[in-house]
């Protein structure tokens, strides 16, 4: 799989692989950068077709976590865990405990939480074997479900984009098309529906679609979501969905959603820019969850502080839009520059004090 070259290309510090045949666990933890603090990122469980696919996802997602925490002003690095398997059929207590043992071997260099395919209850099982978890239930002294703040942050990011495109940050009467209606999308939709926004969603899960219908959300077939005539297209399922094949189909002014790594390639961010579609960089507007989780590290969790910090995503998105306009660059590039500048500054300060 040429792992070391792949790591070197984007500055990954560490990749650890773990196999526990007895429980069926096959997993990878990628640590991208710990300049700002311990690597933090959720554990994803997904039936990857190949080990190479799982590794690629871990490398991409861990790098995105570095950028996310850096841009959000958090003292956390970027990491991600992936478990190869079907969360519906392969998840057992033994597998999750084995995962906890694996996380524990890294001694706190990596802190895990939930992601696609893992739930708060799964995290409690992982926690039986390691202290290095964040986002446990409030009743266990944790900061609780990350998707609540993630949804709030996405909503704030959408409003900042609306102010840029339409001159007012009110979303009333707008149409938002959501790809995926899981935890993050439904939390985002709560804010949108409160504002009388028309929400249209697609999902591959009947449970998710039932939840959508109960909330008053219109449902379309998964592949039709790209063609929906809307103001905002919100990818809230998996990554890579903004690509050469889908961009042509988009009928929106803004792309703003919760999924990580929405752009298949950096060129797709440039293409949106050329077409005058404002892209809200995913790691910038979906940072509410990590902001919330970070609020429980080293101090008692305070939901109000977490909310205030998440609401600042509005100003961060506005600042990225201003930079993008001034420099005539894509918003994705402007957000990368913001994160890279903070990482470079902290590295520079550390080097001065080391020499
Ligand atoms: P989730 O598993 O609750 O929801 C994902 C939904 O997408 C599911 O309902 C699933 O059925 C659906 N889906 C999968 N493939 C699809 C397809 N091809 N078309 C339509 N729907 C499809 O996960 P989540 O926690 O809501 O996370 C969603 C995205 O947001 C992920 O990319 C995740 O990494 C990202 N994210 C989550 C958080 C968080 O706090 N949970 C924070 C930041 C980013």
Measured in angstroms, how far is the CA atom of residue 115 from the centroid of ligand 1? Answer: 8
Q: Is the dihedral of CA 197, 200, 205, 206 positive or negative?
A: positive
Q: What is the pLDDT of residue 238?
A: 85
Q: How far is CA 282 from the centre of its chain?
A: 7
Q: What is the pLDDT of residue 355?
A: 64
* Nearest atom within ligand 1 for CA of residue 186: 26
Instruction: Count the Cβ atoms, other than its own, within 10 Å of residue 21.
Output: 8
Tell me the backbone φ, ψ of residue 32, rounded to 5 degrees.
Answer: -85, -55
Q: Active-site residues: which are they?
A: 80
Instruction: Count the Cβ atoms, other than its own, within 10 Å of residue 49.
Output: 9
* Nearest atom within ligand 1 for CA of residue 237: 7
289 C-beta closer than 6 A to ligand 1: yes
Q: Best of 258, 259, 283, 294 to mutate for ligand 1, by most ligand atoms within 8 A of CB?
A: 258
pLDDT tens digits along 297-323: 988 899 999 999 999 999 999 999 999
| Structure token digits, residue 30 | 């990628």
The helix, strand and coil proportions of the chain, stated in percent and rounded to the nearest 5, come to 50, 15, 35
205 C-beta closer than 6 A to ligand 1: yes
Measured in angstroms, how far is the CA atom of residue 349 from the centroid of ligand 1? Answer: 37
pLDDT tens digits along 36-55: 999 999 999 999 999 999 99
- How far separated are the first and last CA of the chain, in Å rounded? 38
260 C-beta closer than 6 A to ligand 1: yes
Query: Which residues of the chain register pLDDT less than 50?
Result: none
Domains of the chain by start residue, with CATH: 3-133 (3.40.50.10860), 147-290 (3.40.50.720)
146 C-beta closer than 6 A to ligand 1: yes
Q: What is the pLDDT of residue 141?
A: 87
64 C-beta closer than 6 A to ligand 1: no
* Residue 251: C-alpha distances to residues 226, 285, 301, 321 (Å): 8, 21, 41, 21
Q: Using CA positions, which residue lies closest to atom 42 of ligand 1?
A: 289
DSSP output for 264-285: SSHHHHHHHHHTT-EE--HHHH
Q: Best of 63, 76, 115 to mutate for ligand 1, by most ligand atoms within 8 A of CB?
A: 115
Q: What is the pLDDT of residue 350?
A: 83
Q: What is the pLDDT of residue 299?
A: 86
203 C-beta closer than 6 A to ligand 1: yes
Q: What is the pLDDT of residue 185?
A: 98
259 C-beta closer than 6 A to ligand 1: yes
Measured in angstroms, how far is the CA atom of residue 150 from the centroid of ligand 1? Answer: 12
Measured in angstroms, how far is the CA atom of residue 21 from the centroid of ligand 1? Answer: 28
Q: Using CA positions, which residue lies closest to atom 9 of ligand 1?
A: 182
* Nearest atom within ligand 1 for CA of residue 117: 2
Q: Using CA positions, which residue lies closest to atom 32 of ligand 1?
A: 259
258 C-beta closer than 6 A to ligand 1: yes
Q: Are 118 and 139 in contact (CB under 8 A)?
A: no
| Structure token digits, residue 159 | 């409003």
DSSP output for 68-115: HHHHTT-S-EEEEEEEES-TTTT--HHHHHHHHHHHHHTTTSEEEEE-
pLDDT tens digits along 77-104: 999 999 999 999 999 999 999 999 999 9
The enclosing H or E element of 234 equals strand 232-235
82 C-beta closer than 6 A to ligand 1: no
């Amino acid at each position: 799989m040429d792992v070391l070259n792949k790591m070197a290309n984007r500055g990954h510090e560490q990749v650890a692989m773990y196999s526990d045949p007895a429980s069926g666990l096959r997993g990878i933890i990628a640590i991208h950068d710990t300049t700002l603090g311990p690597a933090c990122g959720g554990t994803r469980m997904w039936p990857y077709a190949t080990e190479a696919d799982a590794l690629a996802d871990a490398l991409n997602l861990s790098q995105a976590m570095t950028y996310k925490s850096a841009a959000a002003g958090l003292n956390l690095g970027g990491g991600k865990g992936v478990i190869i398997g079907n969360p519906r059929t392969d998840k057992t207590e033994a597998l999750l405990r084995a995962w906890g043992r694996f996380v524990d071997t890294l001694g706190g260099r990596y802190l895990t939480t939930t992601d696609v395919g893992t739930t708060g209850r799964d995290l409690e099982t992982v926690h039986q074997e390691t202290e290095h978890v964040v986002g446990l239930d409030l009743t266990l002294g944790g900061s609780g479900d990350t998707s609540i703040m993630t949804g709030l942050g996405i909503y704030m990011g959408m409003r900042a984009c609306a102010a840029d495109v339409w001159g007012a940050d009110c979303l009333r009467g707008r149409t938002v098309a959501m790809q995926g209606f899981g935890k993050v999308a439904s939390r985002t939709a709560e804010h949108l529906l409160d504002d009388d926004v028309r929400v249209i969603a697609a999902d591959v899960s009947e449970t998710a679609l039932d939840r959508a219908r109960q909330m008053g959300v219109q449902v379309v077939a998964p592949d039709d979501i790209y063609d929906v005539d809307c103001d905002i297209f919100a990818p809230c399922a998996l990554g890579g969905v903004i690509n050469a094949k889908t961009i042509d189909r988009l009928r929106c002014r803004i792309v703003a959603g919760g999924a990580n790594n929405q752009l298949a390639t950096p060129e797709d961010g440039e293409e949106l820019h050329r077409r005058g579609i404002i892209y809200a960089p995913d790691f910038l507007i979906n940072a509410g969850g990590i902001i919330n989780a970070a609020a429980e590290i080293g101090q008692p969790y305070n939901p109000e502080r977490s909310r205030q910090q998440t609401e600042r995503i509005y100003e961060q998105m506005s600042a990225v839009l201003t930079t993008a306009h001034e420099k005539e660059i894509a918003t994705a590039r402007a957000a990368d520059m913001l994160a890279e500048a903070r990482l470079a500054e902290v590295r520079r300060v550390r080097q001065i004090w080391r020499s």
